[in-house]
Amino acid sequence: MKILSDILYKAGTIDLAGFTRIEIHNITADSREVTQGSCFIAVKGTQTDGHNFIEAAVSKGARAVICESIPENRQKEVTYVAVKSSTKALGIIAANFFDQPSTKLNMVAITGTNGKTSVATMLYQLFEDMGYPSGLISTIDVRIHKQKIPATHTTPDAVQLQKYLANMVEAGVSYCFMEASSHGIEQERLVGTKLAGAVFTNLSHDHLDYHKTFKNYLQAKQKLFDELPKTAFALYNADDKNGIVMVQNTKAKVHSWSFQRPADFQIKLLENDINGLFLKFGETEFHSILNGAFNAANLAAVVGVASLLNISRETILRHASRLGPATGRFEKIPLPNGVTAIIDYAHTPDAIYKVLSAISEFKTPDQQLIAVVGCGGNRDAFKRPSMGNIAATLADRCVFTSDNPRFEDPDTIIDEMEKGVEIVHRKKCIRITERRQGISAALKMAEKGDIVLIAGKGHETYQDIKGIKHPFDDREVIEEFKRQIEE
């Protein structure tokens, strides 16, 4: 139970007078979750407007309603409070309702087109390995020390986020690493959350179906750094041309990492093969079981964050050498016939380019690289021709297949991918719309020593078709193929 005036503090209300005695037992922005004694926050979303559900919330027992415009028909026993922004109010109210949990944690947010999940997960692994109970909020799952909870969004809604953080505090967690998506930042889901620091990995075209323009997408990411306090740090990738833009208006202490430029955290890639990376940070060399230059960059971010959280370089590198990939991020699966399958979440042109380039860096001339690639439906269609051409250019053979078609025709999506493929590379490509068949075909093409990249879905265990999430896991298709070989 909380007092309404306490949870409204700094929420932008007109007047807090008279609210002190109102007890609130629950807060929600979803009218379906309203219970007796709830505070309902009416938020204007991209699909629906919570103001249209105020009456329904009141009928279910809402005792207070926070909204941007007070309805004409009001119930006497209900308190209505007008705020400038219900979205911002939701974050502040949620943080206050759960007793400001972020102030009791060292919280770091990671944003960027690619690398968010890997950096956040590796930081969680690193700090857990060093003996610090830690938390993780990622696309894949939420971790509260040893507890694992499936994720529903990259960045949870404000109420769920603050609830997770409160659970972390109760569990004795001291560090929390979270992905901050452009949607989550723009929709103010992090309002009310105090950050110790924020990280920028890279920026390439993605989510333009939502943001409309690349400039809007960039500004959504930049907002995270613009709102950092002076006490926080801002760590950016100096090798990305947008890195310096991200931090140009921040009040936080700015730091950078780089392969190519002078930076606070300088990294050198000495060796890169199928067995891992040999790297140099400053004067210290160390080996990682991870693969690819992109993972070297992710490690640079991890070392940078841990250093800025006052962990010694020696301790960081000793434990970092044991870090493995996040689920579905360059996940290597050896097959009995000598073929290596790699599952990766790469679903943007930049990510496809990086993962195929990483494999090309260590594969030998007699090894064949076969790529299975698809594009999601009802998402940024602009990237489809580019993804098709990148895959066809960098792979020796390519299978275009279905990803999450959602409400689009999967064959139409593949048509758009094929349109981008240069004539010289078209003979390398085949199309197999059904994903299971496409993966199986690629695995059957491969011979001893070959590498099969299965891109696009990574950690996902479903395929979204016409609004229904059908069970589907790329790993299961690989396991079925392994059994066939062994029989």
What average pLDDT is seen over the chain? 92
Buried-exposed string 372-405: b where 16+ CB fall within 10 A, e elsewhere: bbbbbbebbbebbbbbbbbbbebbebbbbbbbbb
CATH architecture type of domain 101-320: 3-Layer(aba) Sandwich (3.40)
Lowest mean pLDDT of 140-149, 246-255, 274-283, name the range.
Answer: 274-283
Bridge partners (DSSP) of residue 278 are: 271, 287
CATH (one of 3.90.190.20, 3.30.420.10, 3.30.230.10, 3.30.360.10) for 331-486: 3.90.190.20
Residue 153 pLDDT: 75
Query: Is 207 or 91 the better-scoring residue by pLDDT?
Result: 91
Q: Is the dihedral of CA 435, 437, 440, 445 positive or negative?
A: negative
Residue 8 pLDDT: 83
Q: Residue 17 pLDDT > 60, yes or no?
A: no
**pLDDT bucket at 1, cuts 50 / 70 / 90:** confident
**pLDDT bucket at 150, cuts 50 / 70 / 90:** confident
**pLDDT bucket at 212, cuts 50 / 70 / 90:** low
Residue 14 pLDDT: 55
DSSP at 13: B
Tens-digit pLDDT profile for residues 380-408: 898 999 999 999 999 999 999 999 999 99
- pTM across the whole model: 0.87
Tens-digit pLDDT profile for residues 256-283: 999 888 999 999 999 988 889 999 998 8
Bridge partners (DSSP) of residue 333 are: 341
Ranges in the chain annotated CATH 3.40.1190.10: 101-320
Q: Residue 206 pLDDT > 80, yes or no?
A: no
**CA–CA gap between residue 381 and residue 348 (Å, rounded):** 11
Lowest mean pLDDT of 150-164, 200-214, 260-274, 354-368, name the range.
Answer: 200-214
Q: Residue 413 pLDDT > 60, yes or no?
A: yes
DSSP at 156: -
Lowest mean pLDDT of 128-132, 295-299, 302-306, 359-363, name the range.
Answer: 359-363
Q: Residue 15 pLDDT > 60, yes or no?
A: no
CATH architecture type of domain 2-97: 3-Layer(aba) Sandwich (3.40)
Q: Which amino acid is at 27?
A: I
Ranges in the chain annotated CATH 3.90.190.20: 331-486
Bridge partners (DSSP) of residue 175 are: 106, 134
Residue 255 pLDDT: 98
* Backbone phi, psi, residue 437, to 5°: -65, -40
**CA–CA gap between residue 280 and residue 297 (Å, rounded):** 12
Which among 9-23, 281-295, 448-462 has the top mean pLDDT?
448-462
Q: Which ranges of 60-189 would DSSP assign to H, the alpha helix?
A: 86-97, 116-129, 158-170, 182-186
Which three-class secondary structure state does DSSP give residue 372? strand
Residue 374 pLDDT: 97
Q: Which amino acid is at 25?
A: H
Ranges in the chain annotated CATH 3.40.1390.10: 2-97
Residue 205 pLDDT: 59
Which three-class secondary structure state does DSSP give residue 469? strand
Sheet of strand 265-273: strand arrangement = 147-150, 141-144, 134-137, 175-179, 106-111, 197-200, 233-237, 253-258, 265-273, 276-281, 284-288
